[in-house]
Amino acid sequence: MSNEITSLITDTPEERYQLAVQLSRKAISTILPDPESRKKMYPEYIGDARNIAHASEVVAIHFHTISQANDFWKDK
């Protein structure tokens, strides 16, 4: 599975944020497994400001989970 999640433990700050985005996108490919359906929906999804607002919320929830997993990187 190309977008398989192997761990929530990450090193660099950028990795954490990108993992949150990966986790958000993984739901969409799981909910809508057919690539053609996703391709067809993408313009509507990315062109609607309300979806962008909602997608950033999903990233925020995953970023919170990853931050907790990494004890908020207090030691770094």
Q: How far is the CB of 41 from a copy of itself (least distance, A)?
A: 6
* Closest distance of CB 47 from a copy of itself, Å: 8
* Residue 19 beta carbon to a copy of itself: minimum distance, rounded to whole angstroms: 11
- What b/e sequence results for 30-48 when a residue is b if at least 16 CB atoms lie within 10 Å of its CB, and e otherwise? eeeeeeeeeeeeeeeeeee
- Give the residues lining the site for a copy of itself (CB under 8 A): 1, 4-9, 13-14, 16-18, 21, 23-24, 26-28, 30-32, 37, 41, 44-65, 67-69, 72-74, 76
State the helix-helix crossing angle for 13-31 and 49-69, rounded to 10 degrees.
120
